[in-house]
Structure 1
Amino acid sequence: MNTKLHAVTDTNGRPLSFFMAAAKSGITPCILSRKSQNTAIKYDKRRYKHRNRIEIMFGRLKDWRRVATRYDRCPTAFLSAIALATTVIFWL
């Protein structure tokens, strides 16, 4: 399974929208490079600062065992499990 889950959250880390895409979709990362790495990776500092909201949402999403272990191999069934979990997460 080489699918990536992309998400948009509000300021509280609640999921607003999400979609799945193939792994090699040309998305630029917004994370720092390691200090031991010889070449530095350019990143947007503003986007990196607000990245914790996305991490909070994915942490809550992984509390759902079905999503964390990816029982559903079909992308459509997996996306529907994520939709159910994010609906509950949004209202809690």
Structure 2
Amino acid sequence: MARLRDRLTSLSQPRYLAWRALPLGSFDPRFARLRIRTLVMEWHRTRETPDDKAWCEQTLEALGHEVTPGIWSGEVNGLLWARPRESEARR
């Protein structure tokens, strides 16, 4: 049980980024500074933001990533995979 509690605690640390807690239409500026190979994001459609999937895709693409759907993706929620474009990955 202690291992699970430690794991859950580590997931709440600031290194894990979230757009959800930010005002509509904005994103955590740390995403623009990430130098990553792969980002997996779970998105959810809400009443306030019915086009969350498109918004996430467009924002990640604007940050220099190639975006592909994850193993599951529906109308209400799903996964997105984002990888830096070749030119971005070499910077």
| TM-score, length of structure 1 as denominator length | 0.28
Q: TM-score, normalised by structure 2?
A: 0.29
Where is the helix percentage greater, Structure 1 or Structure 2? 1
